[in-house]
Structure 1
Amino acid sequence: MKTYEAIEQYLAHYAESEIREVAQLRLTQSDHVLVIPAFQETTQDLLRVIAGIDDHFLLIVVCNSGVHDTLTVRLHEELTAADDNVSVGNLSWIQSRNMLVVDRCTPTRYIPHKQGVGLARKIGSDIALALIHQRTVSQPVIHLTDADARLPHNYFRCLETTTIAAAWIYPFDHISHTVSNNDHERDAMALYEASVHYYAAGLRWAGSPYAYTTVGSAMAISPRHYAAVRGFPKRNAGEDFHILNKLRKTGAICSIPSPPAVPIGVSARLSTRVPIGTGTAVRQITSMSNPLQEFSFYDPQVFIELNRLITMATSRLMQPAPYDAPWIPSSSADILNTVVEQLNLGAALSRCSRQSSNPERRVRAFHDWFDGLKTLRLIHGLRDAGLKSLPFSELMQLPPFLNLSTGSSPADFSQKMRAYLHAAPVHEAT
């Protein structure tokens, strides 16, 4: 299906109702579009997100809550109090700020709790897609961030020289952009950030095509691919992970080279607003008496085993004829073999080998099945089967599988993992 038709079909059948309202507003032409879901945020914090950007862009703010929330309602009221506010249904366009504000925080407009931030991102992204499709926004990229982030001055421009992709991942930094006088809290932020970069770097070293960070405040999506996966999943947490997992099956996920990209400043404020995510993780780490000893990282051996699996599976699928033998000739005591049997990978490998006479297509079918979620299940299976997670101090004593000088602190380690992920250029197979 052609791009135009695919987007038309999505907008007609799967997009949220707000896209019909935006068609009634005569928005001015913009170069870029940025979507921010806002819950329990202040106007000051929201405007600080974009303070350093001088490009001409439309900002879509989705004020959302599941029940009455005074802070979110106040944000909506303050943003829409301008004299040049033009409203249609749930939407208000403030021309002087080139800001489109979506009301999903007042009675009859609440977002169902279980759909949470996922639906909020979907509403904003659907509107962005419609505006790109009708060419009110000229650059065909849906940019997304959060109301507590800090975007660098070249936020939009750093995509100009990067590769074509289904989505782009910005580098991010929890440390230098977060003000905290609490050493314990700073350690918690550094440990969490290190764990996020370490996991993605481990996947990249192992040869996984799902090797990227999944932070909702540091991503951008191709409109064509967004329509192909039918938008953001309507869930209260993990929506960024799940949409990227789907997007990777439609095209490459590009980790934007840094430089030229400057890391986005991502807040690691303590939070209980969603069951998983940065704020929740940092809150849990700060509750530990000794985070450097209690917070754990995956054993590097799990990524070595993942590399072994991917290498062997690829070798089998690249053979000229379908392969029916057991996927890996090892004893039942082998830890990888045990976990692979639990995932029923052998049967999947056999199915993939029969899907096409083209070896490259068979490999692609395998990676579509063995996706980011199944990769995480494999790693958890390896951990539970004996490759126990390690505290940071023990991780630093092991030979680094990335062949990097790891440094002595979580912050230093995280920066090196980030540099590895965002080295230029990385072109992944699509």
Structure 2
Amino acid sequence: MKPIDRVSAINRYLQRNGSGPVEVLPDPDPDLFLCVVIPAYKEDDLLSAIQALLACDPPDVSWEILVHVNYPENADETAKLTSILSDRLVRDFAKSLKGREDVRIYSLLSKGLPTKHAGVGLARKIGMDVAIGRMAQVNQPDGILVAFDADASCSRNYLLEIVRFYRDQLSAQTANIYFEHPLEVAPGKENRSIAEYELYLRYFRLALEQAGHPHAIHTVGSSFTVRADAYARAGGMGRHKAGEDFYFLHKCLLLRNFYEINTVSVFPSARESDRVIFGTGATIIKQNATGVGLEVYDLDSFTPLNRLFSRAKSYFASPELFLADLDSWQELYPSLSGFLHEQDAPSEIARMIRDSASIASFITKFFAWFNVFRVLRYLNQVHVSDYGKKPVLEEACRLATQSGYSVGADVVSMLQIYRDIDRNRGVRRIL
């Protein structure tokens, strides 16, 4: 598709699915190539994230930081005042910035977002919609949107390596960024709750990968990048009050050319937070309140999935094999067999075979259907009927041993092993 057609596609997205009119900003630099989007609600230290970005090695392109300060219509007066002061702080800081011709900083203020939809999903969507509109203004469909958070930090090479990656990998559409939550809450004292939570994220991703699912990715809102036109083709960010990153990134996977950049780091906050109903902040609140260690999916629950995923290619050439497997699994894996019947899998498999011209096409359709959302539905169901959740350290050690990695004595040392697994993968294509 020609650049002008791709820009037209962005504009069509904004007309049909955009978040609507917002504050008018000055025209972008004609050479704009990268925009960091930061949603902010009830933040009293916005400048730390901005300063972390400005401390990065210059990316050698024209770029912007777009902060979207927002609050819902039912916000209390303290939240409203904090937001208004944050917006003013960013604007004043942008005016005072000297000696940086490469970057422009803007604050958007959205007052009283509809309570029904207000949340991090809508906040991130509005900011990213504005960002791709600015890319379209300068005919830059290849421009990069960078998702960041108001309480995050990053390594010095963060922006430079992102730009280098997209210039080297011209076909790349989306790329996740390596992340690490800060663990030390005081000298010599580590935050066990966040260590357990991050270990769970890495355990689940590796367990899913070992089970054979090609969509095994991290979904952390402050740790991904996407080209402007890919954002539009994926349908943009959803308005979910939580998990917006999960839904969006799994839509991006279907566009293919999805990568990981493990040579830079984002450092998301490990703080408690009531801004979203689940995710890092909510999990930390629960962990700290109960004092109970985090329990996760039993590693054994992934075994039936591995059996299904490893045989998927065979079903294209031999549809009756799937029905035979379903029958045999009634004894071996009764919960998986029952779940597949509940999901009308025989009809779905038949439809995929009918609509596919090749094994590759069939496999793409199969995993778009049995996606990670469906995997989670299955896991949650079987952990009511067949399995019990187990301590994260126990299952992470089992998976590491099974995968040929070393084992740590405690949660923090085990987390470091899992971090090294990702780090050592460098830049790689997922799909």
TM-score interval, smaller chain = 0.7 to 0.9
Task: List alignment gaps of at least 5 residues for structure 2.
Answer: none
1:165 aligns to 2:172 (yes or no): yes
Query: Are residue 79 (structure 1) and residue 90 (structure 2) matched?
Result: yes
1:36 aligned partner, one-letter code: I
Q: Which residue of structure 2 lines up, in the alignment, with residue 375 of structure 1?
A: 375
Q: Deviations for 1:304-350, whole angstroms, at most 9, x for unmatched residues?
A: 22221111222212x17787734534142324323333333232212
Spell out the pairing of 1:240-279 with structure 2 (5 A cutoff).
240-256=245-261, 258=262, 261-279=263-281
What CA deviation, in whole Å up to 9, does each residue of 1:273-331 have, x standing for no partner? Answer: 2111111101111123342xxx21211112222221111222212x1778773453414
C-alpha contact (below 8 Å) 2:258/2:429 kept by paired residues: no
Identity among equivalent positions (%) equals 23
Partner residue in 1 for 2:428: 426
Displacement, 1:82? 6.2
More helix by share: 2
TM-score, with normalisation over the residues of structure 2? Answer: 0.85
Cα pair distance change 1:235/1:397, threshold 3 Å = closer
Could you tell me which residue of structure 1 aligns to residue 106 of structure 2? 100
Report the CA distance shift for 1:97/1:254 in structure 2 as closer, same or farther (over 3 A): closer
Residues 167-176 or 37-46, more deviating: 37-46
Which residue identity does 1:154 align to in structure 2?
Answer: N
1:16 and 2:19 matched: yes
The alignment partner of 1:426 has SS state of: strand
Who is 1:230 aligned against? 235
CA 387–180 in structure 1, closer or farther in 2 if over 3 Å, else same: same
Question: How far is the alpha carbon of 1:246 from its aligned partner?
Answer: 1.3
User: Is the Cα–Cα contact under 8 Å of residues 118 and 237 in structure 1 kept in the other structure?
Assistant: yes
The answer to whether structure 1 residue 198 and structure 2 residue 179 are counterparts is no
Counterpart of 2:157 in structure 1 is: 154
Letter in 2 for 1:195: Y
What is the CA distance between 1:153 and its match in structure 2? 1.2
Query: How many residues are aligned here?
Result: 408
Q: Is the 8 A contact 1:7 1:227 kept in 2?
A: yes
Pairing 1:210-359 to 2, within 5 Å after superposition: 210-256=215-261, 258=262, 261-291=263-293, 295-317=294-316, 319=317, 325-333=323-331, 334-335=333-334, 336-359=336-359
Structure 1 pair 57/307, CA: closer, same or farther in 2 (3 Å)? same
Shift of 1:138: 8.9
Structure 1 residue ranges without an equivalent (≥5): 86-93
* 1:50 aligned counterpart, secondary structure: helix
Q: Secondary structure at the match of 2:37?
A: strand
Q: What corresponds to 1:407 in structure 2?
A: 408
Q: Secondary structure at the match of 1:156?
A: helix
Q: Identify, as 1 or 2, the structure richer in strand.
A: 2
SS of residue in 2 equivalent to 1:197 = helix
The alignment yields a C-alpha RMSD, in angstroms, of 2.9
**Cα gap change, 1:229 to 1:262, in 2 (>3 Å):** closer
Change (3 A) 1:304 1:419: farther
Change (3 A) 1:182 1:21: same
Residue pair 2:203, 2:396 contacting (<8 A) in 1 also: no
Write the distance in 2 (CA, Å) between the matches of 1:203 and 1:324. Answer: 21
C-alpha spacing 1:135/1:413, structure 2 compared with 1 (3 Å): farther
- C-alpha distance in structure 2 between counterparts of 1:172 and 1:411, whole Å: 15
2:391 is the counterpart of 1:391:
yes
Distance 2:23 2:133 in 1: 9
Q: Tell me how far apart the structure 2 counterparts of residues 331 and 80 of structure 1 sit (CA, whole Å).
A: 61
Mapped to 2, the partners of 1:124 and 1:365 lie a distance apart of 32
